[in-house]
Amino acid sequence: MHPRDLQQLVKESARKTGFDACGISTARFLEEEAPLLEKWLSANMHGEMQYMANHFDKRLDPRQLFPGCKSVISLVANYYPQKEQPAGLPKISRYAYGRDYHKVLKKMCKELIETLQKQIGDFAGRAFVDSAPVMDKAWAKNSGLGWMGKHSNLINRNIGSYFFIAEILCDLDIEPDAPIKDYCGSCTKCIDVCPTDAIAAPYLVDGSKCISYLTIELKNAIPETFKDKYSDWVFGCDICQEVCPWNRFAKPHTKEDWSYHADKLEMDWKDWEEITEELFEKRFAGSPLKRAKLNGIKRNVAFVNPSDNK
């Protein structure tokens, strides 16, 4: 099959599988990202996320991670919710409203690979969803799915930035897409609004100061310097996305896996303080919140709990 026809087939199959957009890149070494990643790591902006410093070469070249790789298929799935948490409750990032996206996207990728194999014959392909050293946003950017916003999230002109990213590395020779231009312009809303000054400069995020990092990835105590800095967030943060003008184009998803569940998302401060390990495990089975574990979330609740709720 001609590379251009194969590109069309892949994109059509991706849409039928449930993905909102698909883009193709030719597997190569990411020359532009290499010095930026090295500088970011040298400045310790990855905090306690030591895994970010591992497999440097593989992170920049998918051919080292998956020998024989010729193309990177980037896939995005919208998670913007139809309903949101009421104000005044401990805040949970929108991406964590439903089931763990890793499992959902992996299943979707597997289905897409199987669909393509039925149509074009056997080929080598492997799916990745934050499970290996793959620079998902860089590949999605290269494939024209969006541009890197000043908050370092990928922005798509049609659906904003509330979406998950997955990749399929494969040995298929597929016609690549071209990157698109940056449409952030002179806007600095995400930089101006960040309460912890995590956006050190346009397109540069100090992960060690990001609320998402502090509430999920940080395993030690939250530094007191961040006290009273970030409102009611206890798992993740959406502040920089909430002010982004491009998210006016965000439309609610229709996936049951990421649907809103009041029993999980409308717990108040006292509920979180009193929930037992047994109930947490039962109520949040298959949820992204399991990553922070109950002790981590209770730490976050204690750190940001307004005094009038104590």
Regarding whether 123 and 232 lie in a shared domain, the answer is no
How many domains does the chain fold into? 2
CATH number at residue 36: 3.40.109
Is 176 domain-assigned? no
Regarding whether 166 and 203 lie in a shared domain, the answer is no
Show the domain range for 294. Answer: 189-249+260-309
Is 181 domain-assigned? no
Is 104 domain-assigned? yes
Is 242 domain-assigned? yes
Q: What is the pLDDT of residue 306?
A: 66
Strand locations in the chain (E): 21-26, 71-78, 91-92, 125-128, 147-148, 154-155, 163-170, 199-201, 204-205, 233-235
Regarding whether 120 and 237 lie in a shared domain, the answer is no
Q: What is the pLDDT of residue 204?
A: 97
Regarding whether 134 and 10 lie in a shared domain, the answer is yes
Regarding whether 147 and 202 lie in a shared domain, the answer is no
The tokens describing 31, both together, are 């020359």
Q: What is the pLDDT of residue 25?
A: 98
Is 28 domain-assigned? yes
The tokens describing 105, both together, are 């996207």
Regarding whether 162 and 14 lie in a shared domain, the answer is yes
Regarding whether 152 and 301 lie in a shared domain, the answer is no
Chain segment 191-214, per-residue pLDDT in tens: 999 999 999 999 999 999 999 999
Side chain identity at residue 58, one-letter code: K
* pLDDT tens sequence for the chain (310 residues): 899 999 999 999 999 999 999 999 999 999 999 999 999 999 999 999 999 999 999 999 999 999 999 999 999 999 999 999 999 999 999 999 999 999 999 999 999 999 999 999 999 999 999 888 999 999 999 999 999 999 999 999 999 999 999 999 999 999 999 999 999 999 999 999 999 999 999 999 999 999 999 999 999 999 999 999 988 999 999 999 999 999 999 999 999 999 999 999 999 999 999 999 999 999 999 999 999 999 999 999 999 986 554 4
Regarding whether 48 and 136 lie in a shared domain, the answer is yes
Regarding whether 205 and 145 lie in a shared domain, the answer is no
Q: What is the pLDDT of residue 258?
A: 95
Q: Is residue 134 within 8 Å of residue 63, measured between CB atoms? A: no
How far is CA 230 from its chain centroid? 20
Is 255 domain-assigned? no
Regarding whether 195 and 164 lie in a shared domain, the answer is no
Is 254 domain-assigned? no
Is 184 domain-assigned? no
The tokens describing 189, both together, are 């809303």
Q: Which residues are catalytic?
A: 130
Regarding whether 232 and 151 lie in a shared domain, the answer is no
Regarding whether 193 and 103 lie in a shared domain, the answer is no
